Amino acid sequence: MSASRFSLGPVAQKKSAVATMALVAMMGLGSGFTGGVGITSAYAQLAPSANVGAPPSFADVVDRVKGSVVSIHVVGGGNPKVAQLPAPGPKGTPRGKPTEPFGGIPGLPEDHPLNEFFKNLPRGNGEGGGGGGGAPTLAQGSGFVISEDGYVVTNNHVIDNATKIQLSFDDQTAKVDAELIGTDQRTDIALLKIKNPSRKFPFVKLAPKDPRVGDWVIAVGNPFGFGGTVTAGIVSSLARDVGSGPYDYLQIDAAVNRGNSGGPTFNLNGEVIGVNTAIYSPSGGSVGIAFAVPAKTVNEVVNQLRTSGSVSRGWLGVKIQNVDEDTAASLGLGETRGALVNEVTADGPAARAGLKNGDTILSVNGGKIADSRDLARRVAALAPNATADVVVLRAGKEQPIAVKLGDFKDASGPVSTPAKAEPTKPTATTDLDALGLKLSVAKGGVQIADVDSGSDAALKGLRVGDIIMEVSSQPVTSADDVSKGLAEASKLGRRALLLRVRSGDQTRFVAVQLKKG
């Protein structure tokens, strides 16, 4: 698949130039695959702490690994499905689910580079191309062999909608046919198998240890259709959030370009440390910012794909948001951690176990939860039907709850969101100077009639017409209810008040600082 150029949006265009995010590759092999490639170079044998410069040559490593890297040729039809995201709401409000979600990149902001890439996939030959009118198209990407009998890993987006998949090796021109074993859209990984293998194939292993920032790396792939291309660089970051769900990415500065999708990044031992999945560039070519899925994540996914053809993940059935300093203060939480439950899926695992909107999840199976992404990763790592021992903070007290998890791939059903109430024309209003708000009665809660432009409420994105549904997890139907919640928070010495607010059909928790004096 190839990258395409895109704009970052009106604001970014004024501040910078056109930016490009090109999907490139994730791949790896499971712990079940043994053998692989080693290196006897003196540099490869040095202790991790050794203070040395660059090796005189990467040739020894390349000689040992390049035979396992393949170019992937795909024939497909139609345009690839991309996420169709709802229009952005007020500042700070959550966005709805994509109407047609791309499994690995859910809920990207509308102006996020990856989202723009999906919208602007090329419509001709090349990586990611889709022909108009349903005409067959050709796409090229990269991949690598993970077992001597011909299992190959690449990106899901490289082979998505493919009607025919062929592979070619660096040492020969003849292509071999491959079949799809399974895909995981959430991590954008696909597992292939060479049909009717006539020989044993060279293969590589995933690195058993995480790399360190500053380690040398080598990327091998099929950029722009030039198979067997090698580039070198270092690990720039170990845990980069690129807005594609709960999984972190390695950042590397080795040159990665269009067509590298699905290709591996190696350490000096010839082990795969990650699968190249995206680049960021103002020009469409490499500027030294590339992202790779870590070997540990790939290992977990590929093992499941090889066994069952699909990936199963635990599912809790909640919408969550981070706990910031003001939210922690409004909850009486001594530290900024945990995941605040915004909405509970109707008849989902959390709902059946008794979790409620406004609960703050502090730990799962004894492990403290840092934030919402941490919770998502921990739950996804558990098996469906497993019991998760969850500790929540509710009404200022910690409470243990045992939840029997569901299966993420079967996750469906509406969340327990109240019916949308249209804003009503305010009649009598009540001033709450401590919050910087004027309130009036409305269906489903209390409507905001005016917002002090200099207040924390305005800074947090509250707007005229928003509906306050709850205060400190207690339902409100009048301005007096809000006033009572405000008085209680002041009595407890809280410096912020937690409001559950609906803007249109989206709900969120907002912790508003109380005015002093």
Q: Which helix (H) or strand (E) holds 362?
A: strand 360-364
Tokens of 366: 């004894």
Given the residues 68, 71, 147, 261, select the one marked as catalytic. 261
Phi, psi of 25 (to 5 degrees): -165, 145
Q: What share of the chain has pLDDT > 90, as a percent?
A: 51
User: Please, which residues have CB within 8 angstroms of residue 511's CB and are 6 or more apart in sequence?
Assistant: 324, 326, 327, 329, 330, 460, 496, 497, 498, 499
Kindly indicate the confidence band of residue 243, based on its pLDDT and cuts at 50, 70 and 90.
low
Q: What is the pLDDT of residue 90?
A: 41
Q: What CATH code is assigned to 314-410?
A: 2.30.42.10
User: Which residues does 88 contact at the CB level (< 8 Å), separation at least 6?
Assistant: 95, 109, 110
Residue bearing the bigger pLDDT, 251 or 409: 251
Q: What pLDDT, in 10s, does the model give residues 458-489?
A: 999 999 999 999 999 899 998 899 999 999 99
Does 188 participate in catalysis according to the annotation?
yes
283 band by pLDDT with thresholds 50, 70 and 90: low
Its sign, for the CA torsion 412, 418, 422, 423, is negative
Query: Where exactly does CATH 2.30.42.10 map onto the chain?
Result: 314-410, 430-513
Pick from 457, 460, 444: nearest CA to 505? 444
Residue 428, pLDDT score: 60
CB 462 within 8 A of CB 502: no
Q: How far apart are CA 75 and CA 164, in angstroms?
A: 5
Q: What is the mean pLDDT of residues 350-375?
A: 95
**Taking 50 as the threshold, does the pLDDT of residue 36 lie above it?**
no
Q: How confident is the model at residue 222 (pLDDT cuts 50, 70, 90)?
A: confident
pLDDT of residue 354: 96
Q: Locate tokens 């299966």: which residue?
A: 407
Alpha-carbon gap, residue 187 to 105, rounded angstroms: 8
pLDDT over threshold 70, residue 119: no
Q: What DSSP state is assigned to residue 345?
A: B
- How confident is the model at residue 240, as a pLDDT? 83
Find residue 319's DSSP bridge partners. Answer: 343
pLDDT, one tens digit per residue, over 76-114 is 732 333 222 233 344 444 444 433 333 334 444 455 445
pLDDT of residue 173: 66
Q: What is the mean pLDDT of residues 60-86?
A: 69
Which of the given ranges, 19-23, 122-126, 454-458, has the highest pLDDT on average?
Answer: 454-458
Cα–Cα dist 318/357, whole Å: 9
**Binning pLDDT at 50, 70 and 90, where does residue 244 land?**
low
Average pLDDT rounded to a whole number, residues 17-30? 36
Which residues are within 8 A (CB) of 106 and not within 5 positions of it... i.e. 6 or more apart? 83, 97, 98, 186, 244, 245
Q: What is the pLDDT of residue 502?
A: 92
Is residue 118 over pLDDT 50? no
Q: What percent of the chain is modeled with pLDDT above 70? A: 72
pLDDT score, position 108: 46
pLDDT of residue 132: 43
Catalytic residue among 41, 68, 112, 157: 157
Beta-carbon neighbour count of residue 346 at 10 Å?
12
Which pLDDT value is given to residue 116? 47
Domain at 1-45+57-311: CATH architecture? Beta Barrel (2.40)
Cα separation, 385 vs 406, in Å, equals 6
Whole-angstrom distance, CA of residue 130 vs CA of residue 146: 29
The pLDDT tens digits for 161-209 are 889 999 999 877 689 999 999 999 888 889 999 999 888 999 999 999 9
Which CATH architecture group holds 430-513?
Roll (2.30)
Beta bridge partners of 400: 391
Size (the chain), residues = 517
Catalytic residue among 160, 184, 188, 248: 188
For the ranges 127-141, 158-172, 393-407, 442-456, the lowest mean pLDDT is seen at: 127-141
What's the CA gap between 495 and 515, in Å, rounded?
Answer: 8
d(CA 463, CA 298): 43
430 pLDDT higher than 70:
yes
**DSSP secondary structure string, 58-112?**
SHHHHHHHGGGEEEEEEEEESPPP---PPPP-STTPPP---SS--TTSTT--TT-
Tens digits of per-residue pLDDT, 136-170?
556 688 999 999 999 999 988 888 888 999 999 98
487-509: average pLDDT: 91
d(CA 311, CA 303): 9
Q: Would you state the structure tokens that stand for residue 495, as one six-digit string? A: 């410096």
Prediction pTM value = 0.69
What distance in Å separates the CA atoms of residue 234 and residue 238, rounded to the nearest whole number? 11
Does the pLDDT at position 59 exceed 90? yes
The two structure tokens encoding residue 171: 């040492």
The mean pLDDT value for 325-337 works out to 93
Provide CATH 2.40.10.120 ranges for the chain: 1-45+57-311
For residue range 196-211, what is the model confidence (pLDDT) as tens digits? 988 899 999 999 999 9
From CA 496, how far away is CA 434, in angstroms rounded? 10
198 carries an active-site annotation: no
Secondary structure tally for the chain: helices H, strands E: 10, 28
At residue 46, the pLDDT reads 43
How many angstroms separate the most distant Cα atoms in the chain?
A: 82
Residue 274 pairs in a beta bridge with 294
- Per the prediction, the chain carries an average pLDDT of 77
